[in-house]
Amino acid sequence: MDQWTGRVAIKEVLSVELARVEERRAGLVLSLADGTILHIEFQSGDDKDMPYRQGICCLMLGQKYRRRVRQVVLYVREPKMRMKDHVDLGETKYTYTLMDIREIDALKLMERVVAQATSLSRCWQGVDRNVCWRSPSSPTS
């Protein structure tokens, strides 16, 4: 046991019961052309558990789609956010992008949204299937 504990004495044996039934819904989940998943969450309040929530969601998305997952949390409220964008549990470390929506250049964002919408429109119309992750005629799974 010393090699597992790093020669630190065991203080107590903790409960092994971790069962928890809850439905999780992600804000927005996108499949990107490079094969990755982009998960965007909109947050209207500080949440000290946000790194844990995002970590759980990341693992669930990774397990479901078997792809790399990138996550962005957009904070959309007035008080300055104090949430952390990471958690360090020792050997397990998790981080995500945390942004205050007021710090985003709205004009640049809209230009990108319009460009992406145009590409998707061309894809769905069959004009440019190179930008599609799946052609419109392919069956859904």
The answer to whether residue 27 is domain-embedded is yes
Which helix or strand (DSSP H or E) is residue 86 part of? strand 86-88
Q: CA-CA distance, 106 to 86, in Å (whole number)?
A: 26
- 97 & 109 share domain: no
pLDDT tens, residue by residue, 37-76 = 999 999 998 999 999 999 999 999 999 999 999 999 999 8
Range of the domain at 115: 105-141
pLDDT tens, residue by residue, 84-127 = 999 999 999 999 999 998 888 878 877 877 877 777 776 666 66
pLDDT at 141: 41
- 35 & 95 share domain: yes
Q: CA-CA distance, 32 to 133, in Å (whole number)?
A: 7
Cβ partners under 8 Å of residue 21, min gap 6: none
User: 42-65: b or e for each residue (b if 16 or more CB lie within 10 Å)?
Assistant: ebeeebeebbeebbebbeebeeee
- 55 & 99 share domain: yes
Q: pLDDT confidence of 132, banded at 50, 70, 90?
A: low
Total tally of structural domains belonging to the chain: 2
Q: CA-CA distance, 72 to 39, in Å (whole number)?
A: 6
Would the pTM of this model clear 0.85, i.e. be above it?
A: no
For 4-15, what is the mean pLDDT?
A: 89
User: Please, what is the average pLDDT of the chain?
Assistant: 84
- 81 & 139 share domain: no
- 109 & 132 share domain: yes
The answer to whether residue 123 is domain-embedded is yes
- 96 & 113 share domain: no
- DSSP secondary structure letter of residue 29: E
- 58 & 112 share domain: no
